[in-house]
Amino acid sequence: MKKWFLIILGAMVALVVLVVGGLWFASEPRPRGSEGQAADALAHSMQKAVNLEAWQQTGAVKWNFGGRHQLLWDRIRGLVDVRWEGQRVLRSTTPGGDAVVYVNNAVISGDQAAALADTAYALFCNDSFWLNPVAHLFDEGVTRQVLQRDGQDVLLVGYNSGGVTPGDAYLWRVGDDGLPKAWRMWVSIIPFGGMRASWDKWITLKTGARLSTFHDLGMNELVISDLAGAATLEQLVGGDDPFAPLSPGTEEPEPTSMPH
């Protein structure tokens, strides 16, 4: 029995070494391109393809991120409801500010609540960025460079400030239909440069905004499900305001499941 255990353990270690070694071998340095009108024009064409104007009129959106987190975002008021593993946080979409934190449907406070509020903010930053990064191509602190790959113009976008991981960069490739097709990532949380993720299965929200719901990352997949958006939060979820607990003097309602 011990012999078979050692054989299996050795095979697993060898597999890990091969995978890690392959990733290191495939890793590539962050490329460099040229800033200017050509880069900005490519960025604008991407925003037109995803209908940025319609996204700006999308006042509320909800989605499930990879089967791990559920989010409801009131974009008009800058509020988000983040739920994961029996925890729920109502908070502002900017650092600081008030938050209402639930664990197993009970409101909590103190250091644990503060830590979960910070976790919810980090989840929101990541999950909302994956939802529509094309909307942020001209944010403050963002650089745009154009370069050639396989005879095609591609867009290198660098985020030098904002979010929770400033310094990340993404190399966008655009499909024949004008929609983003894939990107390669140089990000702090991934130790291998140039990891590829596809941008597939685009859907159109009721507002007209277009969003990708499927990303092939090679070794795994990221699926955006239960995605819906509307001009206002009321149009999206109806009924009572799910963010009422953040309003002073408002009674705490019983937590409910994420609206679908």
Residue 15 lies in a domain: no
Residue 26 lies in a domain: no
pLDDT at 125: 94
Question: Which CATH number covers residue 46?
Answer: 2.50.20
Name, in order, each residue with C-beta under 8 angstroms of 175's C-beta and a sequence gap of 6 or more. Answer: 181
d(CA 195, CA 187): 9
Give the full edge-to-edge strand order of the sheet including 200-204: 106-108, 99-103, 87-92, 79-84, 69-74, 60-65, 221-230, 210-216, 200-204
| pLDDT tens, per residue, the chain with 260 residues | 544 444 443 433 333 333 333 343 447 999 999 999 999 999 999 999 999 999 999 999 999 999 999 999 999 999 999 999 999 999 999 998 889 999 999 999 999 999 999 999 999 999 999 999 999 999 999 999 999 999 999 999 999 876 556 789 999 999 999 999 999 999 988 888 999 999 999 999 999 999 999 999 998 999 999 999 999 999 999 989 999 999 864 343 333 333 32
Reported pTM? 0.83
Residue 27 lies in a domain: no
Name the domain count of the chain.
1
pLDDT at 162: 60
Beta-bridge mates of residue 158 = 143, 169
pLDDT at 257: 34
Residue 236's CB: how many other CB atoms inside 10 A?
A: 21
Residue 6 lies in a domain: no
Residue 131 lies in a domain: yes
Residue 90 lies in a domain: yes
pLDDT at 192: 81
Report whether 63 contacts 81 (CB < 8 A).
no
pLDDT at 224: 98
First CA to last CA across the chain, in angstroms?
A: 50
Residue 198's CB: how many other CB atoms inside 10 A?
A: 18
d(CA 36, CA 144): 8
Q: Could you list the residue range(s) of the whole structural domain that residue 218 is in?
A: 37-246
Indicate the SS3 state at residue 209. coil
Report whether 143 contacts 158 (CB < 8 A).
yes
Residue 258 lies in a domain: no
Structure tokens at 151: 């005879």
- Burial (CB count <10 Å: 0-12, 13-18, 19+), residue 41: middle
Report whether 37 contacts 31 (CB < 8 A).
no
Name, in order, each residue with C-beta under 8 angstroms of 61's C-beta and a sequence gap of 6 or more. Answer: 72, 73, 75, 131, 205, 227, 228, 229, 230, 236
Residue 164 lies in a domain: yes
